[in-house]
Structure 1
Amino acid sequence: MDPGNREERMGRIEKKKVITALLIVPPIIGGIALGPSPTLGLMVLIATFLGLREYFRLCLPRSKPIEKTIGVGLGLIFSILALYDKTSAIIPFFIFAFLLLALLFMVTSDSLGSSVSNFALTFLGIFYVGFLLSYVTLIRNMTDGKIWVLFLILTVWAGDIFALFSGVLFGRHKLYPKISPNKTVEGLIGAILGSLLIALLYSYFFLPSLNRWTVLPLGAGLGFFGQLGDFIESMIKRSAQVKDSGSLFPGHGGMLDRLDSFLFSAPFLHYFLSLWLEETL
């Protein structure tokens, strides 16, 4: 690759993106590593609230205030259930949320033609943001949960960083331009390799009993599902015809833009630990 072209591509990585990351990453890591047990749960609760607000602004911009309020409230309850480790209540609550929303949209919808789609999009948002993000807190509640949450965050963030640099420096083959014209096959490969690298390094220092051959599918899976979450959020933004979900973080977009990589990687890690490593840790 031509050096001049490489420098030009590197220039596209905005300085404000780096500055914002330097400002927000240390407090998050420090709060999780050094803070009391409820710290992460409160972080997830706040992130869920902001993420749901952005979701409803993107997908249901014309919905009534009461519909958005109840949608956000139902999504937050998942975070609260996870915070108090009430996993047995999750399925009953899903049924309750479904029935409540069905009744809500029967009453509030001006047209039955739009009531079903609005109901479905609201229920999707509760599942997509509220339920999936609650897995971060569920991981924290597991044995050595703090170590595993930090493993999740650092590994997924590494995947995002490697995807960015790999795509900018080496990107040639578009992954799926219909949804995200800037994402490339090289970026996806870089994400998986970056997650693998950090997973191996982290496990070496903080999870020495973890078999290195186990780390390989774990790190690769986190890298893949992190990028899948990014891709799905890009589909939502594309349908809403916006570039970012919000402007909360300069250079990074909104809260959903920062959460998307964890929405599928967190459940993956949770079930990996529950099903695969349960007898080996």
Structure 2
Amino acid sequence: MVILTITHGGPLLFTGLIGIVAAIAMLEFYRMALPERLMESRLAALCGGLMVFVPLVGDGGAALPSLVAALLLFFLLFLFRIQNIADAARDVSYAALAFAYIPLLLMHLVMLRQTTYGVQWLVVVMLIVMSNDSLAYYSGRALGRHRLYKLVSPNKSIEGAIGGVVGSILGTLLARFTFFPQLSLTDALLTAVFIGILGQTGDLFESLLKRSFGVKDSGTIFPGHGGILDRLDSIIFAAPATYYYATYFFKG
């Protein structure tokens, strides 16, 4: 469904999908971080989902004001709905982190969709992330001997990470020789390595959050595979990097 929405859906439909995904991801984040603040969690998820529509009515420069407005709203909400003064700073910090981590970064997918060759770039992001994940898994199982970052994700290996980058390169080359011939070999290699590594970093960052919160998965929406945030972790970090590369470095 995601690929069909990217390739055949208009900007509004695609943005609506990203908005729903961002809202669910924020709900999962707050259920991990602040399970006792149900009302604030739902309101934050609604605002986070709406934030991704900002590029449709403005441009990339409108992202910062929308984030500031959302943060000010929630700072005031937390100020006047204190539950435990000892936890107030922690709660406010989690509120700010959720907005910066999820809707602000995911908004770049909407901005990327509006660039020249935006549809192709979105498919490239998907290819990079999926091929990275797949080859990292299989190469890690077959060759993994050295732990990549045991404190955060003890099952990931250096060999798997290298295999993942190789998978990203194969994914961008596939795009280059099929549906995206405007992508030069240099573009393909640079984006594969840079975005592939960032995607792996996004996966590690979400693992860091889950370990800190003491949970295995962010949610249960995908039985056996976790929640929306577990599926999005690589794309969240890859989205802004791809947008800025496509906007400022890609010559087409």
Deviations 1:128-179 (A, max 9, x none): 1111111111111111111111111111111111111111111111111111
Read off the aligned partner of 1:104 and give its amino acid letter.
L
Report if the CA contact (8 A) 1:155-1:223 is conserved: yes
How far apart in 1 are the matches of 2:197 and 2:3?
A: 22
Identity among equivalent positions (%) equals: 34
- In structure 2, runs of 5+ residues without a counterpart are none
- Equivalent residue for 2:55, pick from 71, 82, 104: 82
Asked if 1:54 corresponds to 2:28, the answer is yes
1:175 aligns to what SS in structure 2? strand
Among candidates 260, 263, 275, match of residue 233 of structure 2: 260
Matched, 1:214 2:187: yes
SS of structure 1 residue aligned to 2:216: coil
TM-score (ref. length: structure 2): 0.94
3-state SS of paired residue (2:102): helix
User: 2:80 is matched with which residue: 107, 129, 139?
Assistant: 107
Q: 1:250 offset after TM fit, Å?
A: 2.5
CA RMSD, Structure 1 to Structure 2 (Å): 1.5
Aligned residues: 252
Counterpart residue number, 1:250: 223
| 1:275 matched to 2:248 | yes
Please tell me whether the aligned partners of residues 175 and 181 of structure 2 are also in contact (alpha carbons under 8 angstroms): no
The separation in 1 between residues aligned to 2:10 and 2:112, in whole angstroms, is 15
Q: Tell me, what secondary structure is at the counterpart of 1:181?
A: strand
**Equivalent AA in structure 2 for residue 147 of structure 1:** Q
Change (3 A) 1:85 1:116: same
**Cα distance between partner residues in 1 of 2:84 and 2:122:** 44
The corresponding residue for 1:195 is 168
Taking the aligned partners of 1:212 and 1:160, their CA distance within structure 2 comes to: 22
Cα shift at 1:69 = 2.5
How far does the alpha carbon of each residue in 1:83-127 deviate from its partner, in whole angstroms, 9 at most, with x for none?
445433222222222222221111111233211110110111011
> Aligned to 2:45, which of 67, 72, 75?
72
Structure 1 runs not aligned, ≥5 long? 1-26
Distance 1:108 1:179, change over 3 A: same
Amino acid at match of 2:193: A
Q: Which residue of 1 aligns with 2:200?
A: 227
Q: Determine which structure has more spread, i.e. the larger CA radius of gyration.
A: 1
Tell me, yes or no, if structure 1 residue 30 matches structure 2 residue 7: no
Name which of 127, 131, 151 aligns with 2:100. Answer: 127
TM-score under structure 1 normalisation?
0.85
Q: Using a 3 Å threshold, how does the CA distance of structure 1 residues 258 and 85 change in structure 2: closer, same or farther?
A: farther
- Given that 1:72 and 1:126 are in contact with CA atoms closer than 8 Å, whether structure 2 keeps it comes out as no
Change (3 A) 1:251 1:184: same
